Structure 1
Amino acid sequence: MKIGVIGGGQLGRMLALAGTPLGMNFAFLDPAPDACAAALGEHLRADYSDPDHLRQLAEEVDLVTFEFESVPAETVAFLSQFVPVYPSAEALRIARDRWFEKSMFKDLGIPTPAFADIQSQADLDDAVASIGLPAVLKTRTLGYDGKGQKVLRTAADVVGTFAELGSVACLLEGFVPFTGEVSLIAVRARDGETRFYPLVHNTHDNGILKLSVASTDHPLQALAEDYSSRVLKQLEYVGVMAFEFFEVDGGLKANEIAPRVHNSGHWTTEGAECSQFENHLRAVAGLPLGSTAKVGESAMLNFIGVVPPVEKVIAIDDCHLHHYGKAFKTGRKVGHANLRCQDRATLQAQILKVEALIAEQ
């Protein structure tokens, strides 16, 4: 089976690494000449909206998936005329637009921060008066890793902020006094079978994920699965989806979804019986889903901007290095380390060792 992937970054790369043992081949559509997934399959270098190359991709593969949600929903809809595409164009349309996303949560009875659609500075002024400060103004589309958003703490922060974000459609969200950030990785097969990985505790730095630690018997696991199931069924979803939540007053408020394999699920490569990458491919290909059970105690630490010396990373017991082969650049995710240990105390000790290496860079 040959899989077409829209996007050729590290997520596409890790999909290919997971799919190759299953006898799958890959083709990546990505305009970047140095797409890091290109070494693991055919590279069609073209814009994501190029109809000729999209047709070429459709002719060469058995099905198409995508590695990031910034691809235009129109691209997925176009491809769907010629080849099966999972997840669907409708799922992508909702997930890539924060207004559609939050509105869906509300319709499904899933708690979220207070929010308002912003089309002008006047809208922003009115919404701030209603929701209050602090709040976060986010572009409705294309923002990720803390980009395309601004925290508003005082009335002075509100002045001119709509123009500062490009005078594009935005969403204002009320600030949530959360006690923690967690995410749930779910996978849903073509026949509707759904499985969930353990909830993950996440730590961010300047809007970029820094550390994910897989939980054991989290008290909010069942609630997270309930909320996530509502979305998956509503969208008739196929593949892996990530759900990000705030822990608030002993419950959960939905932050956002990602219709793809996700950074906070990278630990599953070594820390689960079947990784998120393999399970995504199993789902979209119509194969039986794999076990999402945790193996040992696991965590993932991102390498941002630079990967520490390889010999130092792999010298740490229970540490597994994933180097993306990307040029080092400030603020760019260029690799990660997965830790899988026998007990929680050992895991915490090894996390500190990797963090010390990161601090040296």
Structure 2
Amino acid sequence: MSSPLWQLEPATAAKHLLYQHYFDAWWPILLQPNGRNGRSWPKVTLLDAFAGPGRYEGGEDGSPVFALRRLLEHTAVSRMGLSPGRVQLVFIERQRNRYEHLLAELTRQFGPLDQLPVRVVVRHGEAGPDSERILTEVGAWGNPILGVFDSWGSVNVPLELMHRIAGNPASEVITTFGPNWFSRREDLNADLLDVVFGGRGHWESAAREERSEEKWRAWLASYREALQRAGFGYRLQFQVVPRTGKPLYLVFGTGHKKGVEVMKAAMWKVDRSSGLSFKDPRCRGGVPMGQQSFFESDAIDPELLALVEQRLKNGGTTLEQLGQWLLLETSQWRASDAAKALKELKDNGRIVLPPGRLNRSSPVSLRQ
């Protein structure tokens, strides 16, 4: 029997860094008392629907292991009220040998799972057909769910499941597409894609895209639109580009601006000095984030400038509106990045600003 382990790809390692920072922020937001009434959620569920074996060939931790460890060792753990009835991590793995390895790996690293201060559920099953049933069995509905659908190959999660998660309180999803997903459309299963995207008319235009560099953009945009139809008010789409190896692609869906802010804060905490970058699908040129020259100078990232110019071509705006657009509609940029982009574009003679100090309501337009 072949080994259930495989080599950790550079893009996966980069993605794991993002997840770790996001999980670090997600847990305390939902579990610590907050607001004037001091309330927090009575139950929170993390679902890892493509869990894998828990370890890679080189000994690196898989996502179930680091997700559980970072929760149990979180700096705010004493304030999060952990208990098996309140916090649960659900891991689903399709291949039997990987499922068995995952269960053994979690037990090896953390001891008997039924003695932990959180509930750990490890199931042998498929993400698409089984996630909704398993979430029902563990009593997840009615409270926050973070669904991580992190496949390397086939994305088979029904849009109906995404719709149900979107309608669940304070719930979010992360879906990834592996580097080869967009280039293997000759063997696509049209019926399955109908289930994932919500019908033939929602993905056929992406399937017809022949330009290799545009395929991932077309499919990612189609899936982002699918999550919108599912009910996620805010969606981020981006390409994760490691220094070496092939990139992968990620779409994040949430119903709250806070979720967007937390995801982007996680992205900016990732050390990019090794060449890692996050690329917006709408940016087709410029130097990607992560190049050492960016950190060694005061230069503004070309992607940020290109995206702001694209937005201004659609009409004038204000500093505040531009900041919200960057936050909610671009892959990595924050509201605070609007002012520095406008300053750079002004210095380059590309935009028109009113005289005086720039403020939130200052009108901004492209120079004709």
- TM-score, with normalisation over the residues of structure 2? 0.27
Q: Report which of the two has the higher share of helix.
A: 2
Higher-Rg member (1/2): 2
Higher strand share: 1
